Chains A and B, each alone.
Chain A
Amino acid sequence: MAKYSSALDDVFAALADPTRRAVVGVLGRGPASVGELAQTASMTLPSFMKHVHTLERCGLIRTAKSGRVRTCTLNRKRLAVVDGWLAEQRALWERRTDRLEQFVTDPEEPS
């Protein structure tokens, strides 16, 4: 639960920025180098690298360096984390209800 919340928070925090959403959009077309991405973002490379790191830390993108070129790839599975929250809450309450039921019907438990 805590792990899930944190993952959700990180993904949302990452997507809460127009530059980073644009990167997700561009990478939807396919992998791109950091240099190419920085050009479309029209900002300096050091500033842009911070955005790349944020996206990589939360798992939305993966990067790999080959020679002097760092290539970014979208991790589509990570986007799915934003969709699963209600199912996750339901599962949590179902399990909680299971445990309560077991507890109140356990003949070993003093009532």
Chain B
Amino acid sequence: MTFELDPDLDLQIDRVMRAPRTRVWKAWTDPVDLARWWLPAPTHCRVDQLEVVPGGAFVTSMSDDGVAFGPHLDACFVVVEPGARIVFTNALDSRWRPVSPAPVAMTAEIRFLDHPDGTDYRVVVRHADPASRLHHEQLGFADGWGTVTAQLAAIAEAPNGGQ
């Protein structure tokens, strides 16, 4: 399945990596490998759960000192096509409980394709609208995240204070 992207909410990254597809796949799915690159140094990453199957848990922790770890990601896999595709989301936690993670819920799709130079690595991350929290509370902003800032600015800058 492929879905359209919403430029206001989604992001896409394509990168050709000079390494075989099997190598890139292993870097994603081997917990020891994943911990090496998942978080930026000097932050330490601990891979708590990595069940690379549909519905499997994907839980990582982070630490500044390598001793005291705090939560980083509590997510689950949605789609797993070995060697080819991973989809995971943090909108369901590792126990499939619907959650509203900060700053925004997302579903990430990672595709691993063959390329003459190695691997064509493609990321699509689809985000929930972080402003939906505002909408639900009937905050008086018009629809859509993009307009929120404009409206805030309008409120803040209107000569009569937007009253």
Residues of A within 8 A of B (CB): 2, 4-6, 8-9, 12, 15-16, 18, 21-22, 24-29, 74, 76, 79-80, 82-83, 85-86, 88-90, 93-97, 99-105, 109, 111
Contacts and interface: CB of A to CB of B under 8 A. Distances in A.
Contacts of B121: 97, 100-101
Given A8-B130, A28-B155, A28-B157, 8 more contacts: A8-B103, A22-B163, A79-B156, A86-B8, A89-B104, A101-B17, A103-B27, A111-B19
Contacts of B108: 93
B161 interface: yes
B17 A94 contact: no
A103 to B, nearest CB: 4
A28 B158 contact: yes
B18 interface: yes
B15 A97 contact: yes
Given A21-B139, A21-B140, A25-B155, A105 B18 contact: yes
A16 B123 contact: no
B68 interface: no
A74 B17 CA distance: 47
A85 B101 CA distance: 14
A99 B121 CA distance: 13
Interface residues of B, number: 49
B156 A9 contact: no
Contact of B158 (A25, A76, A79, A89): A25
A88 to B, nearest CB: 8
B150 to A, nearest CB: 9
B23 A25 contact: no
B123 A5 contact: no
Contacts of A5: 102-103
B37 A99 contact: yes
B38 interface: yes
17 contacts: A8-B103, A12-B130, A16-B137, A18-B139, A22-B163, A25-B161, A27-B161, A29-B161, A79-B149, A79-B156, A88-B103, A100-B27, A100-B121, A111-B19, A111-B20, A111-B23, A111-B26
B20 to A, nearest CB: 8
B78 interface: no
Contacts of B127: 86, 89
